[in-house]
Structure 1
Amino acid sequence: MLRRTRRSLLQLALVCIVVYLVFSLVGPSAPKLYSWNTIRYQSTAASLPEARGLCLGLENSSKPALIVSHVAADGDTAWLQRLSSKYHLCIYEVDAPDDPTVKHLRVPANRGHESITYLTFLIDNYDSISQAGAVFVHGNRFQWHNDDPLYDNAASLAALNIPSALSTTGYHNLRCDWSVGTCPRDSGPPQGSLETSFNSILQPWSARTVSDAAMPHAFAVLFGGDDYLRNGKSKGLKLGRSDTLRAQCCAQFVVSRDSIHRHSREEYVALRQWLLDGYGMSRNSNAASRDDRIAGRVLSYLWHILFVPQEDGPVDLDTLNKQACPSAADCYCKLYGKCDLNCNARACYGQYRLPPNMRLPDNWAELHGNDLYVVQEPGVKALHGRLYPKAFQP
């Protein structure tokens, strides 16, 4: 009798498990909600960096700001000066020798790649940003990830239709092609999965794998603050094992003033301190990784979360992912006036090709640096090539 009862209980348990799995797989799934609304990280630093990131003249400019994170290896900035008729230039020399007499366009440390520049601009120019918005880019004109047939950011920035780009959400990544980022469904395992955790141990040389594994905890610390650290409550903060945060590569974007002001200046200060607290002798173990490849890449996932407006309450991950990954055709048309292209959801023919090993030939700038590019007039549709009105030589 006892054996029969045990067998019945076992069969009932198996039936319950099967029913649960069926409903989990085919039934409607609950929204994936995360409390990613406010940066709550609290720094342990005794003092904050001096404000030296002012962009002169910005408060009186009606142009969109062009914030450039420039290092010496990027070469000269002549190509940027050619864009000054369209943008108010804010070129930060990230690795310049420390000179305490210089009080503008400087960052407190060379940390997190472009992130330290972007955050310093937001902190020190918070009240001076033009209604026209701001564009954030890297300092090298030719880069493998620039979404242009010749990988030329001068051409992309000249053609960029900022009012159109900001018309829907007040934020847009400058990339339209889905390669490299996490927009495609087959882009890799979820960041919070056990597979990603194991891969980060087996492949410590892979910045993408290690940063993906670090991201769920980093977001929980940034958005949860002391509540997360003291109470260990991760629900609604830490990305689930089966959830993927989708985002475009590679931390170049345009954003409106209103979207920037969705967050207080103090939040950007806290975010920059999370980056700075992870460096130095007295580093905070809950702050950013000392490895800039990881720290910078974690923050590259964050910009659209900060700037894309959400309804009051927790962030719906599925909605956020759809906003972060518009179709390539819509993106090229809205941002660069390249409409009626031959496209699928991920890419448009002839617009971008991932170079071998994600690297351009060493002589690429020499070969293409004298190509024509122009300042695109808002509302003027560009041709599929690189011929626009008002052409000039860089």
Structure 2
Amino acid sequence: MMLLPIGHHTHRRWRSIFIFLLAATLLYALIDTFNLHSQLRTPPGPPTVNLILATLSLKPHRWTEHLSIPNLTVIPYIADDPNAVYHPPANKGNEAISYLTYLHDFYDNLSDISIFIHGSDSSWHIDGVLEQSTKQALNRLDLAEVWKRGYLNLRTSWESACPVWINTSVTLNSSAYDEKLRPEEPYIRGAIQDIFPGRKIPRGLASPCCSQFTITKDRIRSIPKHTYKRAIEWLLNTELESRISGRVWEHLWHWLFLGKDIDCPSEWRALCVWYHVCFENEGDWMGFKEMDASKYEFLRFKQAKLRNGLQMGNRGVVGLQEGVRKIEGALGPWRQKAIERGRDEGFRRMVKGSGDL
């Protein structure tokens, strides 16, 4: 087959087209990179932070005065006091309605970072290695990591949460339905259909419990304002009890803000990177966790004996209490070593780079 020679003008035209396409590609890449950097750009200086408390009138929150977070504003939503400065439209849906009211009402005037918590300092919803103290967790929280991730759950434990916890196909008549363990499970599919019409229903949902999280303003605004209003209306109008409707929302926050069905970061990596409590490796963390669990077993046995009528001076009760003291004596230095290791930025960077967070 004979090839025709390419003329001078044809060659020049193709070269012009190539240069144009190359320039367009480079310009697109530059704009895309700029947009990405704009999203990840940290605020100049410490970020502004709003701490949203979902609480009640008889629950004091003076403990927040001991938080060391710069540029912090505490915003208590008092669910049972319609005369409070901040309150939801009704005391329904547990903490969810207070959170959603803030998300809607502050949508156009958000801080750089918002932290959503229940009103108490001492809470089992906070990891045991952080002494179940909300104050300690927040004082240790690395806000730069919050900014990079956009959203993170304040709890890292997978217990009763991960790797998969909610099956959205479960109904009230399903053999898999466990009313005691997951009473909210059969209602999640319907809630998603009502609140987020047209969105694909996830097959399963999982994330550490229990509706305490932190999020950036950009991530909040990635959801249209009217969606928060519709979610509030759902809580106000649903016939579900608050204990159910509130628990429905426990499983939706990560799905809403991250667009992920499953958000189960490695416990030991999350503790290290987010809270600077760095165990040497996964095995070191598991060893600590198992010993900590044995302490609570001793405490449960002790409480059971006391309920059965034994006195504090009983030999069995004393032995259990001594066992608890010995375990705590081992856990204390172990935890302190993890905190000291967490001061090493290089170690934290290595941990973060070794797995998905």
1:237 maps to which residue?
200
Secondary structure at the counterpart of residue 294 of structure 1: helix
Secondary structure at the counterpart of residue 248 of structure 1: coil
1:184 maps to which residue?
163
1:57-99 deviation line (CA, Å, top 9, x unaligned): xxxx9521111111245x3211112226532111112222x33
The list of structure 1 runs, each at least 4 consecutive aligned residues, that deviate by more than 6 angstroms after superposition, is 386-389
1:310-365 deviation line (CA, Å, top 9, x unaligned): 5xxxxxxxxx245x111112211221012244426996724975967xx9x9xxxx
Of residues 242, 253, 258 in structure 1, which corresponds to 2:218?
258
TM-score by length of 1: 0.58
Give the number of the structure whose residues are more often helix, by fraction. 2
2:154 maps to which residue?
174
1:298 and 1:348 mapped to 2: Cα distance? 33
2:246 and 2:340 mapped to 1: Cα distance? 32
Secondary structure at the counterpart of residue 219 of structure 1: helix
Preserved CA contact (<8 Å) 2:77 2:86: yes
1:161 maps to which residue?
142
**Structure 1: 5+ residue stretches without partners:** 1-60, 226-235, 279-288, 311-319, 362-381, 390-394
Secondary structure at the counterpart of residue 145 of structure 2: helix
1:281-336 deviation line (CA, Å, top 9, x unaligned): xxxxxxxx43111100111111112211x5xxxxxxxxx245x1111122112210
- Greater RCO (CA < 8 Å, at least 6 residues apart): 1
2:126 maps to which residue?
146
After superposition, the Cα gap between the structure-2 partners of 1:129 and 1:196, relative to the gap in structure 1 and judged at 3 Å, is farther
Question: How does 1:73-152 map onto structure 2 within 5 Å?
Answer: 75-83=59-67, 85-86=69-70, 87-96=72-81, 98-99=82-83, 102=84, 104-131=85-112, 133-149=113-129, 150-152=131-133
1:148 and 1:335 mapped to 2: Cα distance? 15
Preserved CA contact (<8 Å) 1:343 1:349: no
Of residues 315, 338, 346 in structure 2, which corresponds to 1:384?
338
Tell me if 1:277 matches 2:237: yes
After superposition, the Cα gap between the structure-2 partners of 1:152 and 1:192, relative to the gap in structure 1 and judged at 3 Å, is same
Identity of aligned residues (%): 27
Question: How does 1:32-71 map onto structure 2 within 5 Å?
Answer: 63-71=48-56
Preserved CA contact (<8 Å) 1:67 1:134: yes
1:20-74 deviation line (CA, Å, top 9, x unaligned): xxxxxxxxxxxxxxxxxxxxxxxxxxxxxxxxxxxxxxxxx9521111111245x
What is the deviation of 1:191?
3.5
1:291 maps to which residue?
241
Q: Which amino acid aligns with 1:237?
A: K
Preserved CA contact (<8 Å) 1:65 1:89: yes
2:187 maps to which residue?
214
What is the deviation of 1:194?
5.8
1:334 maps to which residue?
273
Secondary structure at the counterpart of residue 197 of structure 2: helix
Q: Which amino acid aligns with 1:162?
A: L
Question: How does 1:320-359 map onto structure 2 within 5 Å?
Answer: 320-322=260-262, 324-343=263-282, 349-350=288-289, 353=293
**Cα root mean square deviation, aligned:** 3.3
Preserved CA contact (<8 Å) 1:327 1:345: no
